[in-house]
Every structure is written in structure tokens, then in C-alpha cells.
Amino acid sequence: MLKAVETQPFIAPPKVTLAGAEYEIPVLAPKQNRIVVPLIDSVFPKIENARRKSFADPADEKKGVVAYRWMVELVLNGAYDDLCAVTHAALTRTLPDLTRAEFDDWAVDTFELLAAVAVIARQAGLIRDVVTATKPSA
């Protein structure tokens, strides 16, 4: 009879794409989470508020101004700064020498930041994945 797999399979850390390059985000440590956790807690309502405001008028969607307005709202309500702070803090896990000033000079797309925060929230342990171990092939 086959026994259940006793060891955790090696799982490569997920990657985020920033400024067109890929970066691994391993499980974060308290050093990073100290910045990441409170900010993520407050940034999601801000993102949602900005989205709600931007999508308020369906006519704008046809004109293609929704995405632009969303960006503006994110900057105005401080969510953009929070997103940058969260992403920078998470990157310092693998790039401890990366300064915020350096990161601020990267050509990072706002949608890249939004996508990165979802990965970071998972790696901070705010979202828990149920991993079902599979027996590795011999």
C-alpha cells in the first residue's frame, strides 16, 4: 500500500513581474512583514474605493478612460505609495540591498504592482493555500 508523502515537496517561490523582469518572492520574514502586513490591510479598501469610483459611470468604460481614472484615484488616495512600499519591502527579502530610492526609479507598471501585491499577500501568510502533496515521480 502506498504511504502518504511524508516530506513537503520543494516548492519554488512564486515570481512577480516588475519593470518587465521577474523576481522571486519567498515566504516573508517579520522584517518585511512589519511593513507589508499593516499596509496590505489598509491598501485593499483603498484599491476597491478607487475601482468603484472609476467604474461609477458605464459611459466612461466605452471611452476607455476608466483605467486612467483608476490610476489617478490610486495615486490620490495614497494606495499607489502603499503598493510601492509593500512591493519594495517584499523585494528586500531576496534583494536586501535594494533601496527605496532605487526601486522608485524602476519603470514599474501600476498593474504590475497590483498583480504583485496579490502574490505578496500570499507570501506574507495573509492568504493560506491548502497544498496537497503529490508523490514525486521516480
Partner 1 sequence: MRKSRRRRPHGGTGRRRADATTPLCLALPKPNRKAIDDGHPCITIAGQEWPIPPLAPRQNRHVVAALMRMGGDFFAHYGDLVDAVFFALTRAHPDLARSEFEEWPIPVYELTAALPVITKQTGWLKPGKNSTTEPKPPDFDAIIAEVCNFRLGTTEEYWEDNLTGARFEAMAEEWRQRPPLVTLISAFLGYKPPPTEEEAISELFRLFPSGKISGSPTMH
Footprint of partner 1 on this chain (CB under 8 A)?
6-13, 24, 26-31, 33-34, 37-38, 40-41, 93-96, 123-126, 128
> Least separation, in Å, of the C-beta of 108 and partner 1?
21
Query: For 53-118, what is the HEC assignment?
Result: HHCCCHHHHHHCCHHHHHHHHHHHCCHHHHHHHHHHHHHCCCCCCCCHHHHHCCCCCHHHHHHHHH
CB 35 within 8 A of CB 90: no
Q: For partner 1, which is the closer residue by CB, 75 or 135?
A: 135
> Least separation, in Å, of the C-beta of 69 and partner 1?
29
Q: For partner 1, which is the closer residue by CB, 65 or 98?
A: 98
> Least separation, in Å, of the C-beta of 54 and partner 1?
26
> Least separation, in Å, of the C-beta of 62 and partner 1?
38
Q: For partner 1, which is the closer residue by CB, 65 or 95?
A: 95
Task: Quickly count: other Cβ atoms within 10 Å of residue 75's Cβ.
Answer: 13
Give the residue carrying C-alpha cell 490591510. Answer: 41
Q: For partner 1, which is the closer residue by CB, 28 or 74?
A: 28
CB 101 within 8 A of CB 91: no
